Structure 1
Amino acid sequence: MPGPLTSTSKLTPTSLREAFGHFPSGVVAIAAEVDGVREGLAASTFVPVSLDPPLVLFCVQNTSTTWPKLRRAPLLGISVLGEAHDEAVRTLAAKTGDRFAGVETVSNGGGAVFVKGTSVWLESAIEQLIPAGDHTIVVLRVCAVKVNPNVAPIVFHRSIFRRLNT
């Protein structure tokens, strides 16, 4: 049985990060070509929202230096990362350096960029931006989808990348 709850006055970013880390999540890459350059980031806050219209969302930190570039792209590629992508996640999440070093990608004619070997590709366009504290909720309209059912997902749990036991 867990101990007593921490009062609201004692909440810290560290205690919240630890608590939120107990919720396992998948990881996606969001990427596009902007002015001829591949831009991308990794997000573990990805959620399917609606089937009609087809909508998904992810959350991005307001301090991100990559998001202002990506939001200019007409189309974004969402790649649901798989078990083999633990290094790709680290590379895409890096604050500096080449975020695509060692990451194989495919670009479509509309500018969306996808990571090869992933379980799902979603071509999407920004539908709505919603301010939410130190993040922005980005609602995307899905324009096209490609599924590879043979790729098992990577799971982010308690700051560790894990695999599903099947």
Structure 2
Amino acid sequence: MGVNQDEQLSAQLAPRDRFRWVLSHVPTTVVVVTAACSDGPAGLAIGSFTSISLDPPLVGFFPDLSSTSWPRIRSAGRFCVNVLAYDQEDVVGAFAKSGGDKFSGLESRPARGTGSPILDGAIAWIECELDDEIRLGDHFLAVGRVLNLSAERNDPALVFCRGAYTRIA
């Protein structure tokens, strides 16, 4: 078998860049984690969300150590994972920025159990209580114990793959 162009490019990259480039081929779910904090709502975009356990029901995501929103969400102790639909790329942009009112121009309603914002248009939402947090490299692993959840739209999810947003039906 010959070496294809992707393999040639991969071999030329520095180890960190190669790691990032190769892993960019793995599609990741795009979610927004929100919380009702004492000083107003907080939220951040996450590109690494997963289910962890069915018994007990646990989910996990990986906020960056440098995130300014994650400490606020952590302090709230409860949050809502909003699974974005393929047509919500603009929502990611609002929550990927640092500072400012990330909720400006967006509609939401409070989750019954936690008061965390459920974003209009999300295909599903998962209310959680922070169960654990582990520092791993340049990220935290945040583990949420699921309190309540719902799938609200039957549309494709927004995913990130090879440096671009796309959808999976």
Moved more, 102-111 or 20-29: 102-111
Partner of 2:60: 57
DSSP-derived class of the 2:28 partner: coil
Cα distance per residue 1:113-156 (max 9 Å; x no partner): 11111111101011111110010101110000111241220111
1:25 aligned onto 2:25: no
Q: Is the 8 A contact 2:43 2:102 kept in 1?
A: yes
Query: Aligned pair 1:145/2:146, yes or no?
Result: no
Moved over 6 A (4+): none
d(CA) in 2 for partners of 1:76, 1:4? 40
Tell me which residue corresponds to 2:127.
123
CA distance in 1, matches of 2:99, 2:20: 22
CA spacing shift, 1:98–1:61, aligned 2, 3 Å: same
Stretches of structure 2 that go unaligned for 5 or more consecutive residues are none
Q: What aligned pairs does 1:31-50 form with structure 2 within 5 A after superposition?
A: 31-50=34-53
Please point out which of 136, 139, 142 is paired with 2:140: 136
- CA root-mean-square deviation: 2.0
Residues 36 and 116 in structure 2, CA contact (< 8 A), matched pair in contact too:
yes
Contact 2:122 2:153 (C-alpha < 8 Å) held by counterparts: no
In structure 1, C-alpha distance between the alignment counterparts of 2:117 and 2:73, rounded to whole Å = 11
Identity %: 30
* Consecutive unaligned residues in structure 1, runs of 5 or more: none
- For residue 41 of structure 1, give the secondary structure of its aligned residue in structure 2: strand
Cα distance in 2 for partners of 1:153, 1:18 equals: 23
CA contact (8 A) 2:11 2:18 kept: no
- Please report the TM-score for the alignment, with normalisation by the length of structure 2: 0.87
Deviation at 1:92, TM superposition (A): 0.6
Cα distance in structure 1, aligned partners of 2:78 and 2:130: 8
Shift, 1:108, TM fit: 2.6
**Aligned with 1:105 (options 105, 108, 114):** 108
| Structure 1 SS opposite 2:25 | coil
